[in-house]
Amino acid sequence: ATPAATMVGTTIGAQNGVLFKGGDILERAKDVDTVVFDKTGTLTEGEMELTDVVVFDGDGQPVTDGGDPAADGGQLSARDRLSEDDVLRLAANAESGSEHPLARAIVEGAEDRGLDVTGPEDFENVPGHGIRATVGGSEVLVGNRKLLRDNDIDPTPAAETMERLENEGKTAMLIAVDGELVGVVADADTVKETAKDAVNALQERNVDVMMITGDNERTARAVAKQVGIDPANVRAEVLPEDKSDAVESIQAEGRQAMMVGDGVNDAPALAVAHVGTAIGSGTDVAIEAADVTLMRDDPLDVVKAIRISDATLQKIK
Ligand code: ADP
Ligand code: MG
């Protein structure tokens, strides 16, 4: 492209809230044949809300009546009588050590119910899996199936509950206290209003649309379905450090991939992608690693970025 055409394209982009970091990027964007979206904060709002608390009794059976909070005074020895509030209070106190959006939703949900959240005595992050904390002298684990299995706790009694919540597109987390499964909490996120239209518009341009996430397979597929992404194009349970490898393996098939993401986790993947696109409200690390920034946080601007590149380069041919 001539410098003049590139400047026009870059300016049109900027006027539309699509910031290209340079003329070479503007030229590259038109060749994108695959767009890989991060899920949380990119296709979804990234604002989690606590939606469910399920209590399991001593035999690992879900308790439907929620138990009687007054009966046990929160004592863990009365495991079969832990109430919904007890379970939520333990999870929230444990999670108050974490900055993760999943954790913040649990803490806020507990506070909204008037529960006391004072924090853990001890706290440890288990990246991609959950957290481990000490609350009231007990060891509390909150996280996914892998977290429990790695701690020799069988998550299968919660299988049905987990699957039901995940099929609704929620992120369900297991809670174990002193080595025993005591409950499940779930957080839900909302899909961005224009996510489906963006996916649709890309597919109409014959661009393959994929999704990549650290979240579990079932939740990921439920969200993919809501926005029109083929379940076969979903890469779930990808650990933070493996996201860039996933993008590289997609590109190893000869594809020109655009990665779209918002998180610190996404930065390496944004850097290796043919075009890395960051959500403007995302973390600075992601914006720095990216080639394009979408100032309006609107998935439809992904289509706009490709269109502007296309139009700019066609004119000067
Ligand atoms: P993402 O940011 O893509 O949602 P993460 O890699 O941060 O994924 O987390 C992957 C999974 O690990 C989550 O879906 C959840 O099951 C579990 N997890 C991570 N952090 C926490 C946490 N603070 N509390 C409970 N579970 C967590
Ligand atoms: Mg994200």
Report which protein residue has its CA nearest ligand 1's atom 16.
144
Measured distance CA(50)–CA(283) in Å, rounded? 23
What's the pLDDT score for residue 116?
94
Of 159, 188, 217, the last residue of a domain is: 188
8 A C-beta contact, residue 129 and residue 145? no
Query: Closest residue (by CA) to atom 3 of ligand 1?
Result: 214
The pTM score is 0.85
> Looking at the structure, do residues 183 and 54 belong to the same domain, yes or no?
yes
- CA-closest residue to ligand 1 atom 8: 214
CA 215 / ligand 1 centre spacing (Å) = 6
Active-site residues, by number, are: 38
The CATH number assigned to the domain holding 8 equals 3.40.50.1000
Asked if this assembly's ipTM is beyond 0.85, the reply is yes
Asked if residue 131 and residue 55 are part of one domain, the reply reads yes
Nearest ligand to residue 212 Cα: 1
Best probe residue, ligand 1, of 104, 144, 234, 285 (max atoms within 8 Å of C-beta) = 144
d(Cα 182, Cα 56) in Å, to the nearest integer?
Answer: 5
Report the chain (317 residues): mean pLDDT per 10 consecutive residues: 88 96 94 97 95 84 53 44 93 95 96 97 94 97 97 96 96 97 97 98 98 95 97 94 95 97 95 97 95 97 97 71
Say whether both 91 and 38 belong to one domain: no
Whether residue 123 is found in the same domain as residue 107? yes
Q: Which structure tokens are listed for 42?
A: 């990119």
Q: CA 56, CA 161: separation in Å to the nearest integer?
A: 10
The most distant pair of C-alpha atoms in the chain lies apart, rounded to whole Å, by 78
State the residue range of the domain holding 280: 3-45+190-315
Q: Clarify whether residues 65 and 33 are in a common domain.
A: no
185: phi then psi, degrees, rounded to nearest 5: -120, 155
| 27 & 103 share domain | no
Residues 137 and 230 in one domain: no
* Last residue of one domain, picked from the residues 155, 188, 221: 188
Residue nearest to atom 1 of ligand 1 (CA): 214
Ligand 1 centroid from CA 268, angstroms? 18
**The pLDDT of residue 31:** 96
Same domain, 262 and 300: yes
Looking at residue 240, its pLDDT comes to: 85
Q: Which atom of ligand 1 is nearest to the CA of 39?
A: 3
Pocket of ligand 1 (CB under 6 A): 40, 95, 98, 100, 102-103, 128-131, 142-144, 171, 173, 213-215, 240, 265
47 C-alpha to center of ligand 1: Å?
A: 14
Q: Between 217-227 and 159-167, two packed helices, what is the crossing angle to 10 degrees?
A: 20
Task: For residues 39 and 55, state if they share a domain.
Answer: no
H/E run at residue 208: strand 208-212
What is the number of the ligand 1 atom nearest to the C-alpha of 171?
14
Q: Among 153, 188, 223, give the residue marking a domain's end.
A: 188
> How would you class 66 by CB atoms within 10 Å of its CB: exposed for 0-12, middle for 13-18, buried for 19 or more?
middle
The domain total for the chain is 2
**Does 55 share its domain with 172?**
yes
CB 106 within 8 Å of CB 185: yes
Using the structure block, give the residue that is written with the tokens 């039901």: 164
Secondary structure class of 53 (helix, strand, coil): strand
Same domain? 60 vs 182: yes
Indicate whether 262 and 160 sit together in one domain: no
The enclosing domain of 68 has a CATH number of: 3.40.1110.10
User: Closest Cα partner for 24 from 3, 48, 45?
Assistant: 3
